[in-house]
Amino acid sequence: MKNVLLRSAVLLLIFAFTFPLKAQSTVDLDTVKAQKFDTGKMWSFDYPPTEYFKKTYNFSPDESWFEHVRLSALRLPNCTSSFVSADGLIMTNHHCARGFLPRIQKDGEDLVKNGFFAQTLEEERKIPNYYADQLVLIQDVTDEIQKAASTGATADEKAKNKADKIKEITDKLSSQSGLIAQVVSLFNGAKYSLYGYKRYTDIRLVFAPDMQIAYFGGDFDNFTYPRYNLDCTFMRVYENDKPVNSTNFFKFTMDGIKLDEPIFTVGNPGSTQRLKTVAQLEYFRDITYKNAAYLFDTYYNALEQLKTVDPSRAAEFEKIRVQIGNSQKVITSIYKGLTDPYLMARKKDFQKKLQEAVWSNPELKEKYGSVWEDIEKTRTEMRKYGPKISAYSLNPMFSSKYFFIAKSLVEFAKELQKPEDQKAPEFKGAKLDSTINALYPDKVDKLMEDTKLVMQAEYIRMNLGDNNPIVQKMFGDKRGKDAANYALGNSVVGSKEAFVKLAKEGADAILNSNDPFIYFIKETQDQLPELMNRAKEIGNTEQVFDDMLGQAIYHVYGTSIPPDANFTLRISDGVLQSWNYNGTKAPVFTTFYGLYNRWYSFFKQYPWDLHERWQKPPTDFDLSTPFDFISTNDIVGGNSGSAIINEKAEVVGLAFDGNMDSIVGNFIYMPHNNRCVAVDARALVTAIDKVYKAERLANELKTGKMK
């Protein structure tokens, strides 16, 4: 009986694990359909979705509501902010402010590690070379731009005429009003708007939490949920050395969010490609993101391995991992999404439906019927150049320094070939020896540079192919470490002595040497500008077709779908909603109890350690206070620091991240599992008040004004 039960259990387990995979593998991709919100919910303020809000939430905001929300929001360098008091107080994420904190700290301070709070208005600390932009003007300039873009005999001429018209329009607004002017393309060029921003340049720091609570869990928890992060920073906008009187601002509420209540994220999503053609997405998949994913993923994992190779440098390698960790997750996840047949099938169906709508209308067919074929031709043409550009380009982050050493030697040789009267003084006579010695770096980190070389060897091979002359010259048939050793073993770049010896032999000896790195530089760097120019020409041609595609989309769908994100102000709607993951269900809210559970569970070790102020919370600090939450709001990079508001335009949260499933939102929005992650307004006020004892700030958030 026991054996029968055991066999039954084993069969049940096999069935349980294999059936979902089998079911997924047998999906008929031809039957997959695009869904209503595949293009997302990042609505522009040019065309506010009033009817959609009314139909979905029975909420009918008027023009003044949208204007108030727009004027309350701000755009920061690469992030979003918003006014949250009548006295110029603004709110964003800690990770948006982290870069400037070391620049404004005083001797003996560590503002990243320990945080900051200005006890008085006078102590608020000015941030140099920083600004916040408020969108105060929106004007439709579609006709002017499209007319200019349609004139010209070639794609390059059309692109130039379009660019000239944009410059004319923006220069005129800037000179007449003093505003920062920007012409914004919406719906891939179907519509154009002139935006006028009022720029505030006197921004002062009011409060920043310590790094560990702002980025609790570090890179491991990034893009995951449940989360326990107080990812916030508060600053104040000044004019004429006084706090700005901000008529429009989002007041905080401590009432929280109901489960079915609509909430809105107001911010500047950076970039999406949801309206691109299948051919464009396939190019991103096969070249753009494939290459980027390889570099980030390989380097990220190599840094972890280096910790065991040289444990004394573990902290150094970890710091680099943290710096690239966010990009690594984003890029590799987008690439994974682009290689998902089901997701691509949904994109193909969206394109098919759009094509059918265009082709069924004689007027639209005449004007836009061939646009998909035209874009496919430009992408096919670009495939001839993209891989070469990738292989030939040198990037200090990923490329081994050995390539730059070889480049300096080739440039040195070319200088030597110039006529004597055209040579710079350092390339003549007695100064030549010192010039040669200065060419080679004082220090070469062999461990790091060899690691990068191994990575780059495979990257070059991946783009050029095994039989390419450059690949064969540099690496032969070797792979991995053997390829790197092969290249270095036949080169002078790994030894200063050998480098100097060859340099002293003169230009002919350098340029005619059998050195693989010198060969790479000679064969690629002169060709690279030409390849880049060709890519630009193809891009200009494709932009004309891309604009036509946008016009076709707009003719068919109008403003019922939002335009792709382009780091301009958008409003996204959503509700609190869980999703299933890892065989369980995500809680809508986390609490401070969860923070301490995670702290203890990981033995109080990095990156789940806590600053000493958090290790013994005050007795009147309610640990059941909602901390972070998830919602269906549609956000991407650039939305960091976005206020999440309710129908009354009150702050209920501060967006700081998405879950892993949100990353494919770069090209398709999947409402069933795409989640925005935010700090609850109640957590912000409670922590600032009880833990940081920043009563002045807490009171301003509660009342909307300074006392």
Domain identity same for 514 and 652: no
Give one DSSP letter per residue of 254-289, joined into a string: SS---TT--EEEEE------TT--HHHHHHIIIIIH
Q: Is residue 58 part of a domain?
A: yes
Alpha-carbon distances of 539 from 34, 82, 273, 373, 448, rounded to whole Å: 28, 36, 15, 15, 36
* In-domain check, residue 619: yes
Give the distance from CA 179 to its chain's centroid.
Answer: 27
Residue 633, in any domain of the structure: yes
Nearest to 684 by CA among 666, 697, 703, 674: 697
- Tens digits of residue pLDDT in 172-196: 999 999 999 999 999 988 999 999 9
The owner of tokens 């923006």 is: 170
Same domain, yes or no: 260 and 284 = no
Q: Are both 205 and 348 inside the same structural domain?
A: no
Q: Which tokens hold the place of 341?
A: 């047949």
pLDDT value at residue 423: 85
Q: What pLDDT is attached to residue 26?
A: 63
| Sequence-ordered list of residues with C-beta below 8 angstroms from that of 612, at least 6 positions apart, any chain | none
Q: Which residue numbers in the chain have pLDDT < 50?
A: 1-25
CB atoms within 10 A of CB 420: 7
- Residues present in the chain in total: 707
Considering the domain architecture, whether residues 312 and 239 belong to the same structural domain is answered as no
**336 shares its domain with 385:** yes
Same domain, 215 and 295: no
The DSSP 8-state label assigned to residue 688 in this structure reads I
Give the pLDDT of residue 428: 82
26 within some domain = no
Looking at the fold, whether 303 and 394 belong to one and the same domain comes out as yes
If one counts the domains in the chain, the total is 2
Question: Where does a domain end: 479, 514, 529?
Answer: 529
Same structural domain for residues 283 and 392?
Answer: yes
Residues whose CB falls within 8 Å of the CB of residue 162, separated by 6 or more in sequence, listed in order: 145, 148, 149
Asked whether residue 604 falls in the same domain as residue 472, the answer is no
Whether residue 589 lies inside any domain: the answer is: yes
DSSP three-state, residue 203: strand
| CATH of residue 253 | 2.40.10.120
Indicate whether 354 belongs to any domain. Answer: yes
Domain closes at, from 511, 529, 547 = 529
Within this chain, do residues 375 and 483 fall inside the same structural domain, yes or no? yes
**Is residue 392 located within the same domain as residue 263?**
no
Helix, strand, coil abundance in the chain, percent, nearest 5: 50, 15, 35
367 CB neighbour count, 10 Å cutoff: 15
Q: In this structure, is residue 2 part of a structural domain?
A: no
pTM of the shown model: 0.92
For 583, the domain range is 43-131+201-273+563-703
Give pLDDT, residue 8: 42
Q: What are phi and psi of 204, to 5 degrees?
A: -125, 140
Out of 505, 529, 553, a domain closes at 529
Q: Please indicate, yes or no, if residue 359 is contained in any of the structural domains.
A: yes
Residues 72 and 123 in one domain: yes
